[in-house]
Amino acid sequence: MFQSTIGDNGGAGAGEGAFHNGSNYGGFSGGGHVTGRRPGRGSRRRFRDEDGGSNPRVSQLQDKEGPISPCTDFDVAYFNSYAHLGIHEEMIKDRVRTETYRNAIFQHQDRIAGKVVVDVGCGTGILSIFCAQAGARRVYAVDASDIAVQANEVVKANNLSETVIVLHGRVEDVEIDEKVDVIVSEWMGYMLLYESMLGSVITARDRWLKPGGLILPSYATLYMAPVSYPERYSESVDFWRNVYGIDMSAMMPLAKQCAFEEPSVEMINGENVLTWPHVVKHVDCSTITTHELESISTRFKFKSMMRAPFHGFAFWFDVDFGVPAIHSSSNNAPPIEAPEDGITDTSKRKKRPNPGEALVLSTAPEDPPTHWQQTLIYFYDPIDVEQDQLIEGSVTLTQSKENARFMNIHLEYASGGRSFVKESVMR
């Protein structure tokens, strides 16, 4: 748990003007779960195989050099949550997600045909089958969840058993006795990094990917922006002012705590966003390390584009299926740099020199909806901001020491001469 302090930096200074936004509502502990989301999401994988060892190129749980991260009770519960078909049905029915992956696989068919692919967290095996349809010579479909059993049956039903090998186990534990040319994985969680599945992709990359190999998606970017959402606040809090003619405003402090203590996964639209977004983290999947994911910090400075109540911050992401820079000098733009005045203006977000060459899967409010929606961190009380008023501060995202799949979120923000802190845990 973070210490509730504000440092003397960048306008979010300590002192009389600094306080917790809502810290008097019931002793916030940072626990609980994310409002409005299903259990589990950003990954799904790994246990033991049943018959994968029948293939001479594949074996399970063999001794190998180097430390192996243990499978904790949290991991077991996590993998078990992905044994439920409903989670996979929701993801597959997300047409933006599934069709973008299929299109990206066939867009890179020249890199996949005749090659070896590993699908990290294969779930039902749909991406593995897309790769087989694109001409892959061999696809290793790895998943620790018991859904791997059904995935193997799906592979058999589509007469792909000679091409797609389902491995029921963790990426950290299974053995593949050849290098691979391509890694494909749908690893993104809410707020991009929730559930820490990117670490499994990094493990697969470092164990098996050939030099210069392709990772799909290749890049990911997490964004944040201030939002105004009066309807949500009214629905959750103001409702208690008058309930069937009864004054229940005494319930409002508890209503604020219940509604806004934890991150909320829900849908907003572009009209709710007060400023251009700020890049929290840009990820190059070919170079990112697990150490970099342990703690991510950024400072932000926004200028409100309108007069409105400021209710909190929204987070969303996009992923890019372009070719890494080592293979192409023009497919992908670098992460957006802050201008000299420090005020975020990412109006060129997602625009690339050759946009037709790189598919982008976006979860931004203005783009077609996905099952990821957006992640909202609400304040207990809104802040009225004027047009062109500055909003500045910092955010730190840290893997929980209790469970690395949880995310601690520490927000410091200041506007109109007042400073605040909001802490929460995404479980």
Task: Give the C-alpha separation, 272 to 311, whole Å.
Answer: 10
Angle between helices 95-107 and 126-133 (to 10 degrees): 30
Cα-only R_g, the chain: 23
- Assess contact for 317 and 360: CB atoms under 8 A: no
Three-class DSSP category at 258: helix
**Which of 111, 158, 155 lies closest to 137 in space, CA to CA?**
111
Q: What are phi and psi of 62, to 5 degrees?
A: -80, 155
Q: What are phi and psi of 148, to 5 degrees?
A: -60, -30
Could you tell me how far CA 155 lies from the centroid of its own chain? 28
Three-state secondary structure string covering 318-333: EEECCCCCCCCCCCCC
Q: What are phi and psi of 295, to 5 degrees?
A: -150, 130
Q: Give whole-number Cα distances, 346 to 220, 351, 386, in Å.
A: 15, 10, 21
Task: Give the C-alpha separation, 292 to 299, whole Å.
Answer: 17
Hey, what are 205's tokens? 């990359």
Max intra-chain CA distance, the chain: 74
The residue with tokens 């409702």 is: 239
DSSP 299: E
- Assess contact for 425 and 406: CB atoms under 8 A: yes
Hey, what are 281's tokens? 């983290």
Active site residues: 186, 195
Give the number of other CB atoms < 10 A from CB of residue 423: 21
DSSP 334: P
